[in-house]
Amino acid sequence: MRRLLHIIESKSMDRASLQRLFDQASTMEPIANTGGSLIRSDKIMCSLFFEASTRTRLSFESAMYRLGGRVIGTENATAFSSAIKGETLEDTIQVVSGYCDLIVLRHTEVGAAHRAAQVSGVPVINAGDGSGEHPTQALLDLYTIQKERGEIDGIHIAMIGDLTYGRTVHSLSYLLANYKDIRITFIAPPNARIPESVKRYLDEKGVSYEETGDLLAAAARADVFYQTRIQKERFPSLEQYELAAGKYIIDQPLLEQMRQDALILHPLPRAGEIDTDVDSDPRAAYFRQAQNGLYIRMALINQCLES
Ligand code: CP
């Protein structure tokens, strides 16, 4: 039986496979500009998005078109698929996998992509499952760090903001465990701290980390600042969200404390936690990071369809 390459969680990826992906992503950059026919034009990708998205959905769809394939799907599957009539995710995936060669799934529930992969006849890519994981975002984050800094080994990264519900932070922490001499400083409000499960994983892998509430103290020390949005939609109440919101903002005064070779990343969208004044600083790499998502997703689609 054909063994499908699903992209579900970051923990299953090793350093060699990451480097292969990054090498392939760099070869996608010129193809993205000129267009290509790397994959057959009868190949179809289905993008099934049960949660809102700009970057992930559109970069996946653009990636498939740039490679020469075609796209079907729904951007508001909660309302516009038969989920609204009570169809289970498992039934939807079994049916849809008969219509396409690859499924890209964003869902509200942790573990949804894993459940989809269990019943799918085609590869499934996790495009974010609730507050669980967002592995393709973490892949493009790491690709950006490698591209901008030359290497990943030895970095000191500050992860800031909503570390409880921020799935990109979870996935990125797991991927970083593949590299040498990584230091992570987690900076979060008391009700949005990094989950114990992530810390346990880092302990098992021997990754050095600390937790603090002091962004200013970390400003002069870190190589990479990974800022995140406080995700209002995932907090249990408005009161809890308000306790966490607005605490950590990257602005001009903070920028002055950072090293000249620092890198500022954000998975985006932002909601005030990076001042727009910062955008013109060469250290602000978040729009370049979003562009890298296209190349990484071209490489991922290509790998999945080759499997
Ligand atoms: N970073 C990210 O996942 O963005 P979207 O929600 O716009 O896809």
DSSP line for 215-282: HHHHHTT-SEEEE----GGGSSSHHHHHHHTTS--B-HHHHHHS-TT-EEE--S--SSSB-GGGGGST
DSSP state of 91: H
Q: Are both 278 and 151 inside the same structural domain?
A: yes
Q: Are both 140 and 285 inside the same structural domain?
A: yes
Phi, psi (5° rounding) for residue 111?
A: 90, -5
CB of 55 closer than 6 angstroms to any ligand 1 atom: yes
262 neighbors 144 (Cβ within 8 angstroms): no
What residues of the chain score a pLDDT lower than 50?
Answer: none
DSSP line for 156-204: EEEEES-TTT-HHHHHHHHHHTTSSS-EEEEE--GGGPPPHHHHHHHHH
Answer whether residue 4 is part of any domain.
no
**Domain tally for the chain?**
2
Q: Are both 169 and 251 inside the same structural domain?
A: yes
Residue type, 282: P
Q: Are both 112 and 165 inside the same structural domain?
A: no
CB of 76 closer than 6 angstroms to any ligand 1 atom: no
- 106: annotated active-site residue: yes
DSSP state of 111: T
Residue type, 127: A
The three-state secondary structure class of 137 is helix
For ligand 1, atom 3, name the residue with the nearest CA.
Answer: 56
**Residue spans of beta strands (DSSP E) within 68-162:** 70-74, 102-107, 124-129, 156-160
Whole-model pTM?
0.96
What is the model's pLDDT at position 1? 55
Model pLDDT for residues 101-131, shown as the tens digit of each residue: 999 999 999 999 999 999 999 999 999 999 9
What is the model's pLDDT at position 36? 77
Atom of ligand 1 lying closest to residue 128 CA: 3
The catalytically annotated residue of 134, 167, 229, 283 is 134
What is the model's pLDDT at position 4? 85
- CA dist 188 and 174 (Å) reads 18
Q: Are both 92 and 175 inside the same structural domain?
A: no
Q: Are both 127 and 269 inside the same structural domain?
A: no
User: What is the 217 CA–ligand 1 centroid distance (Å)?
Assistant: 29
Q: Are both 62 and 95 inside the same structural domain?
A: yes
The catalytically annotated residue of 6, 57, 66, 106 is 106
Q: Are both 202 and 189 inside the same structural domain?
A: yes
∠ CA(138), CA(277), CA(155), 5° rounding?
35
What is the model's pLDDT at position 2? 65
Instruction: Residue 199: give the domain boundaries.
Output: 135-290
Q: Are both 43 and 118 inside the same structural domain?
A: yes
CATH code at 69? 3.40.50.1370
304 neighbors 126 (Cβ within 8 angstroms): no
